[in-house]
Amino acid sequence: MFDLAHMMTLLPAFALVLVRISGIMLSAPVYSSAAVPARLKAGLAVLISLVVFPLVRPAMTDIPASLLGVAVAAAGELLIGLAIGLAVNLIFTGIELGAQLVAQQMGLGLAHLIDPTLEEETGVLEQFYILMATALLLVFNGHQLIIRAVLDSFSTLPPMTLTLQPEMLHVLRGLLAASFVLALKMSVPAMVIMMLVSLMMGFLGRTVPQINILVVGFPLRIGVGLLALIGSFGAAMVVFSQGYSQTVDAVGQMIRHLGG
């Protein structure tokens, strides 16, 4: 009976740890994918929380006694987990934006498929690059680094110590800027080639008006665009790896600023 009562006193503290880790499962790449069963996500969150809780519990003092206080503290823990996951997700946002820019220039802007991992409609080219980026993330052990980041956050930022600092805005602005730069770096080589193709078709239409530019240009743009993507694919993966390294550093800075 005593053990049960003692476990009940530890339940609010355990819930705070579980909520932070659950935030990762809701927002981080791979873990938040709809392809991962919800039961697996919940089981993994509980398992990690059980392993981490004995190490975190000594730093947790003044656990709120009321249900409202626990709910407020849990909201702060959920915000930390969501922030870490969304920061890593910004890489994929940049990749998707870059692929979308190239797809529009190639004439594939209306070619959409249902992405089962996101449960939404995405372009063919965007889905291809997202799948490649996910594969690279797994190759780089990014899924393990995401879990390690949230585990390290407990030492830098113990539960119930969330304080939003003004520097957080600079970190978020840097992440958004890095995501946009990543999109430009990925799309610029192919977009420059597509611009040259457009100029060439414009000159061709002026000099040889008998040619139907719409009929000739559509397959030409797709073919040249695919060749440009194949030629720049290696560079795009290097850009992704650089963006991944920058995001890892930014996540560390974000955790420090969340803790003041």
What global pTM score does this model have?
0.77
pLDDT of amino acid 177: 84
Confidence at 1, pLDDT banded by 50, 70, 90: very low
**219-232 pLDDT, tens per residue?**
788 888 888 888 87
Tell me how crowded residue 51 is: count the other CB atoms within 10 A of its CB: 10
Alpha carbon distance 75, 163 (integer Å): 13
Cα separation, 193 vs 222, in Å, equals: 12
Please tell me the predicted confidence (pLDDT) of residue 6: 55
Whose CA is closest to 81, among 165, 141, 162?
A: 162
- Cα(133)–Cα(237) distance, integer angstroms: 8
Number of neighbours of residue 23 by Cβ within 10 angstroms: 23
Task: Reply yes or no on whether the pLDDT at 57 is more than 80.
Answer: no
Q: Identify the pLDDT of residue 190.
A: 83
Q: Give the helix/strand (H/E) hosting 233.
A: helix 213-258
Q: What is the model's pLDDT at position 120?
A: 65
Does 127 score more than 70 pLDDT? yes
Rounded to an integer, the average pLDDT of 111-137 is 73
The band of 2, judged by pLDDT with boundaries at 50, 70 and 90, is very low
More confident residue, 113 or 135: 135
pLDDT tens figures, 142-174: 778 788 888 877 877 777 777 766 777 777 788
Q: What percent of the chain has pLDDT over 70?
A: 87
Tell me the per-residue pLDDT of 21-55, one tens digit each, with 9 for 90 and over. 888 888 888 888 777 788 888 888 888 888 888 88
Q: Which of 138, 135, 120, 125 is nearest to 97 (CA)?
A: 125
